[in-house]
Amino acid sequence: MSDIVEESVSPAKPVLRTALLFGVGAGVLCAIWVIGLYLSGSNPYGPKRLMAIFAPPIAVLLGQWQLRRHFKPEGPGILKSVGTGLLIALFAAVVSAGSVYAFARITGPDPIARHLTEMRQLLKQSRPMFLKEKNGRQQYEQTYRGLAFSAQGLAADDYMRKLLVGVLLSIPGGIFLRK
């Protein structure tokens, strides 16, 4: 009998390590984007913030590709590949939403008030287009009520958008990059 204990590398570790690396990286990139918008004088909660929505899906695909390289030549399989993509999307959404919440709490109510003023003005300008459509008045009122008025609302909006886009891309990406 040997006193040497063999250490096996758990197959879950590369999945979790890859998901953390790419998910947190994408979330931090989104946070840097919001801070950059604020420092440049732009509305950090406005439409330009949505340009950062591409970071989580790109991170999902890059992470799945990296996992595929780790499990060469047979590939990670569909469950590990899709699971990694889902975890990356989750981590990116959590870090991004947490940073939006922290940023909103640190900067205070002034940027949120400025954002609400800009969004209300945009809605008023687009009201005639809403009213031309069937049920346009209800859509207009629903959109108006759906504006985020607090740090929690902004963070929840950011979380849902980033998670949804990341999840939607993680499934086809995982299928394509499974081998």
Q: What pTM value is reported for the model? A: 0.82
Give residue for tokens 């909660």. 45
Number of domains in the chain: 1
Q: Is residue 147 part of a domain?
A: yes
Q: Is residue 6 part of a domain?
A: no
Residue 54: predicted pLDDT: 94
Over residues 76-135, the pLDDT tens digits come to 888 989 999 999 999 999 999 999 999 999 999 999 888 888 888 888 887 888 777 888
Q: Is residue 118 part of a domain?
A: yes
Q: Is residue 109 part of a domain?
A: yes
CB hemisphere CA count around 145 (13 angstroms): 6
Answer whether 69's CB lies under 8 Å from 2's CB: no
Q: Is residue 7 part of a domain?
A: no
Q: Is residue 152 part of a domain?
A: yes
Q: Is residue 48 part of a domain?
A: yes
Dihedral (CA of 144, 148, 153, 158) sign: positive
Q: Which domain holds residue 134?
A: 12-176
Amino acid identity at 175:
I
Q: Is residue 1 part of a domain?
A: no
- Other CB atoms within a 10 A radius of the CB of residue 17 amount to 14
Distance from C-alpha of 61 to C-alpha of 177, rounded to nearest angstrom? 8
